[in-house]
Structure 1
């Protein structure tokens, strides 16, 4: 599909979805007079490692506003993203389903989905996308009376022009879509605003006048201002610090003579992200919404956008994975463990730390619990009891992931145990994370009973789908 056809189709779909959403949808399940359900904000970084923030151990990059979130809220020490790459991770966050049940389990589909082109060489690539039968947290919250907005990165559309955020519960969307290259990058020349494709003249002809990170922040602040009188759900999905490394300047790191330009730029990208988070918090305070708003912060997977020498060097220079094993695309801790902070003044104890294992499928049931909305099917649990009591310890539960790059892999966590299967039909690796968080010693041979329990759980949680069938037909360009 050529770009002009895509624009017409995609924006027509957005407009149709907007027109079909009646005002009455925003008055359902109204709270009793004199009470207010909390606003919910989820701030998501892109490819920021577990160790990239100061509150999680970073020593070279300052993150005062992310640190403020932790100082005024609860930090989870054992939190996990939905997957080791962005598409499936965000799918788990939005749908509450782990990658053994979710529609999107990798950035590439084995079957189904739609074919499109990738990169300058226009290589054919099959990508999965959400379908109408998939439901998101935004849809449930909108049905419960929340105004919903996504600012930034969606990444659940694949090459399907109908799978826009507007089709999946977001009343407002300002950001970029996967098939529309002109809306992508840190200096985009166009942006999708609701049902319109808007030119950004400040970035035309190679100019760098408006930085994507700043645009997301501005759009999020505007959303808060316009909806501060009613409960809202705001998903601020930043691109930073995903590659390519680019920033308006080196920020506070310009004078680091012993740093390379890449290192200065990466640190500046996180600086401008952190600055934007601070501006969002300041807006909440200025609007007297602090105590009425639950703010979540996390990253979508581990560091190092691509496994190149340049990006590996940067991740290692900053110890972005926090000393854990692995990077983005790895199923070891460095690829899936994420910072996760929740701030709710007066409700969540300031400076609290929880070591309860949590992961992205938990967000949907937590958000619905906070909103007083009906419970929906999910692979997660509501974290509200843990937010109310940092010392609370839940029962050990089975957390599950699967991934398909470069081949089918499975991971599970149960209590202190973590098991990995690195190829279909392969034997399991087993680690005791309480003693070996770096996963340096495989002790599967010492615990056959635990290995069996983990293998049984993996078999139970993996359900084949149209996009990821058993047996697999192959990857990429199959019909």
Structure 2
């Protein structure tokens, strides 16, 4: 693992940070026993959508400043290439060979499959340790009987269902598992933009009395779903299609709201005892990936397991605790967030999870453990509601692809109904980060190793994947 300090390159970064109101970090002598934790997750935002990851067209000055005053990972991977399994991996510390949800899918009731109640989330662990826990944004892991309050969240506000979350002017949202009507959006009106409601609830949470440390999980929906926004005037002068102006404006709005959150923490004197983590749940859609280079120079996009579908931005910020100006190439994934938060909070990590804490990488303390391998599997979904034998020749979902990363090597295994074992493609990310040259034929010993890892990386505990009914 290599860690670089970017503040030594130029003084311009410090000028930028001063302009946006971030403090210069100073190392404290003692670690707070229970820090506040704010976890911000964008939706469908690619690796290259932020200026600090190379974006040239979309303005993200506040998040870029956050990265300069903290640590930026260059090899962080989402839990999956679509939202629902990525969220379960994040909250439970399990990769998608062991999660219950392994693709986006709607049941016969046309709602998300519910993550089983026996799954232990990071919210449940922190709540048990004395934290106040809240989720504001998109849940995506169960319907009305399986809302965030059943999985450790003291407070929740937002969407339960991932399909509903496509609509930024919904007729209702859910607060603490109860449906709350939005009369401003009744009969197709567009009076209340859901993202703005989320930020209002976030700021209200931060402004409320804090008699406990808190865990605030913010899975905002920007820039996912219908690409609409009340005001895209920041890009009015651009000769772009309207949808692309909206996409860029959504990311810029998120950037501005991150700054509002940090300002709110400072106003309450909470910032120096708060760990902020910023990430995305999966890669960008192909249209934006091409237009904005949203996935950087990486191959692929949302719904596949090439780098562009799963490698994501990740920024960690904690003034006085995380040394400013760092860029780390430590290889880590969404299921590592749970043990990392546990270690930061000073609580025991559950046994039997797949995650490995990257706390040492964040805080430059102790020896950083490495994964033997990272593993993903992705089930694509047939959105035709006809079941097999009832007007559809395709199953409701099927295992489309799997992926492994071990060291510098990355394997992508594509499956078909006729060939469940799939074909192994092999890439060396150290020399070919764009995954342009398949080296499988030249390295049969590594292909054999891949097959051995595949045989032990997954268990059949996901009744909806594949869905055989």
TM-score normalized with structure 1 length: 0.83
User: 2: CA distance between counterparts of 1:392 and 1:135?
Assistant: 27
Mapping of residues 313-462 of structure 1, within 5 Å:
313-377=287-351, 378-389=353-364, 394-395=369-370, 397-405=372-380, 407-408=398-399, 409-423=401-415, 424-462=420-458
Residues 162/260 of structure 1: CA separation in 2 closer, same or farther (3 Å cut): same
Query: Is the contact made by 1:148 and 1:234 (CA closer than 8 Å) also made in structure 2?
Result: yes
* 3-state SS, counterpart of residue 446 of structure 1: coil
Q: Deviations over 1:4-57 (max 9, x none)?
A: xxxxxxxxxxxxxxxxxxxxxxxxxxxxxx954100111000000111111101
Contact 1:214–1:276 under 8 Å retained in 2 = no
Separation in 2, partners of 1:381, 1:450: 24
Contact 1:369 1:382 in 2 (8 A): yes
Contact 2:139–2:162 under 8 Å retained in 1? no
Q: Give the Å deviation of 1:331.
A: 0.6
Which moved further from structure 2: 459-468 or 294-303?
459-468
Change (3 A) 1:227 1:135: farther
Partners of 1:180 and 1:299 in 2: CA distance: 18
Partner deviation per Cα, 1:368-425 (whole Å, 9 max, x = no partner):
1111112203211111111112997644521111111164221110110111110121
Change in Cα spacing, 1:287 to 1:103, as seen in structure 2 (3 Å) is same
Q: What is the deviation of 1:195?
A: 4.9
Q: Tell me if 1:116 matches 2:97.
A: no
Supply the distance in 2 between the matched residues of 1:368 and 1:353 (Cα, whole angstroms).
Answer: 23
TM-score (norm 2): 0.85
Distance (whole Å) between structure 2 residues aligned to residue 349 and residue 398 of structure 1: 28
Q: Runs of 5+ in structure 1 lacking a partner?
A: 1-33, 118-125, 305-311
Task: Indicate the residue corresponding to 1:292 in structure 2.
Answer: 273
Whether the 8 Å CA contact 2:358–2:368 is kept in 1: the answer is no
**Which residue of the other structure, out of 166, 188, 203, is the alignment partner of 2:185?**
203
How many corresponding residue pairs? 417
Q: Contact 1:353–1:390 (CA<8 Å) still a contact in 2?
A: no
1:179 is displaced (CA, Å) by 8.5
Partner of 1:84: 81
Aligned CA-pair RMSD = 2.1
Q: Deviations over 1:211-270 (max 9, x none)?
A: 1111111111111222534200000111110121100111311121x2121111111111
CA distance in 1, matches of 2:289, 2:92: 30
Residue 178 of structure 1 corresponds to which residue in structure 2?
Answer: 161
- Residues 198, 457 of structure 1: alpha-carbon distance in 2 compared, 3 angstrom cutoff: same
Q: Secondary structure at the match of 2:218?
A: strand
Q: Aligned residue for 1:22?
A: none
Distance in 2 between the 1:102 and 1:227 partners?
36
Residue 180 of structure 1: CA displacement?
9.2
**What is aligned with 1:270?**
251
1:140 paired with 2:121, answer: no
What are the residue-to-residue correspondences of 1:152-231 with 2, within 5 Å? 152-157=137-142, 160-178=143-161, 181=164, 185-231=167-213
Structure 1: how far apart are the matches of 2:177 and 2:102? 29
Contact 1:354 1:390 in 2 (8 A): no
Secondary structure at the residue paired with 1:209?
A: coil
1:405 is paired with a residue of what secondary structure? strand
Corresponding residue for residue 101 of structure 2:
104
Q: Report the alpha carbon displacement of residue 206 of structure 1 after superposing the two structures with TM.
A: 2.9
Question: How far apart in 2 are the matches of 1:50 and 1:58?
Answer: 9
Q: Given that residues 302 and 338 in structure 1 are in contact (C-alpha distance below 8 angstroms), is that contact kept between their aligned partners in structure 2? A: yes
Distance 1:462 1:59 in 2: 40
Tell me, what secondary structure is at the counterpart of 1:347? coil
Q: Does 1:281 align with 2:262?
A: yes
- Using the TM superposition, give the Cα deviation of residue 426 of structure 1 relative to its aligned residue in structure 2, in angstroms: 1.9
The one of 242, 258, 267 equivalent to 1:261 is 242
Q: 1:199 deviation in Å? A: 2.5
Return the alpha-carbon distance in structure 1 between the equivalents of residues 178 and 88 of structure 2: 25
State the partner residue of 1:62. Answer: 59
Q: In structure 2, how many angstroms separate the alpha carbons of the residues matched to 1:350 and 1:391? A: 18
Do the aligned partners of residues 180 and 49 (structure 1) sit closer, same or farther apart at CA in structure 2, a change above 3 Å counting? closer
